[in-house]
Amino acid sequence: MLRRLLFARYERQLNRVYRDRLASKGNTAQGVFWRSQSSQFARFDALLSLVHQLRGYQPTSIADIGCGYGALLDFIKRSSKFQHIEYWGVDINRAMIAACRQKFPHQPDIFSTGNRPSNIVDFCLFSGTFNLTHSDDPALWNDYIFACLDRCMTQTRYGLVLNLLCTPKAQIQKQIFYASRAAFVKRAEAHFGPTHAQSTQHVTGDVSFVITRKPL
């Protein structure tokens, strides 16, 4: 119970910070705290490529959890490689969802405020969703991440793809969470199922993970 309250407090704090950041920087990579659009897109490419490795060109639905202002949908629309992907966007921040609906006025219903998809999808995808934290306890933040992943895993057919910044030992520095890659894989395998990690190309320190709920 105490944990639930604490996790809800983390999300309230995150909501304030992301709302203010979007208001000051607008629909840009910097508006969701990325250094550049190229690092934002490199992360998208790495995560979607992991999905592609598992599903090929079969029609595949993904829920983008922590979709921000909808940059991933833009990326998908512009990329010939990912035209078979059906996209849903979810974010805890109402201002982000409002920005998505403004950006994609013909598809307002594919976006929703929340922390899990309301429909079953093939994969949930998280890009940068867990990097910023107001916790100062890496173990607790790790537990928060697993609680989020757990909730989303039940809404998927195949599993989860996500990225995290990683260092050999889990830590929080200047409100940024760094996971231990090995410990994260071990916990994900014990808790969910087969998990694969690979360094994200062109993004130093970032690791892309795929966690499957059952052998594909």
Shortest Å, Cβ 98 to ligand SAM? 12
| Per rule CB under 6 A, count of chain residues that contact ligand SAM | 21
The backbone torsions φ and ψ at residue 7, rounded to the nearest 5 degrees and listed phi first, read -65, -40
Torsion angle in degrees (nearest 10) through CA of 58, 62, 68, 72: 0
Nearer to ligand SAM by Cβ, of 18 and 87: the residue is: 18
Nearer to ligand SAM by Cβ, of 55 and 134: the residue is: 134
Q: Are 39 and 202 in contact (CB under 8 A)?
A: yes
Among residue numbers 60 through 119, which ones bind ligand SAM (CB under 6 A)? 65-68, 71, 90-93, 96, 115
Q: Is the dihedral of CA 73, 93, 211, 163 positive or negative?
A: positive
160 binds ligand SAM (CB under 6 A): no
33 binds ligand SAM (CB under 6 A): yes
Shortest Å, Cβ 65 to ligand SAM? 5
The secondary structure of 117-149 as a DSSP string is -SS-EEEEEESSTTTB-S-S-HHHHHHHHHHHH
40 binds ligand SAM (CB under 6 A): yes
Strands 176-179 and 171-173: antiparallel
129 binds ligand SAM (CB under 6 A): yes
142 binds ligand SAM (CB under 6 A): no
Q: Are 161 and 47 in contact (CB under 8 A)?
A: yes
208: which strand partners? Answer: 163, 198
Nearer to ligand SAM by Cβ, of 151 and 213: the residue is: 151
- Counting Cα atoms < 13 Å in the Cβ hemisphere of 209 gives 28
Interacting span for ligand SAM (CB under 6 A) from 32-40, 47-55, 172-180, 193-201: 32-40
| CA-wise closest residue to 111 among 126, 97, 121 | 97
Among 46, 50, 124, 127, which residue sits at the site for ligand SAM (rule: CB under 6 A)?
127
Over the window 6 to 25, marking each residue x when it contacts ligand SAM by CB under 6 A and - when it does not, the resulting string is: --------x---x-------
Shortest Å, Cβ 129 to ligand SAM? 4
Contacts of 148 (CB under 8 A, 6+ apart): 65, 115, 126, 129, 130
Chain residues in the site for ligand SAM (CB under 6 A): 14, 18, 32-33, 40, 65-68, 71, 90-93, 96, 115, 127-129, 131, 148
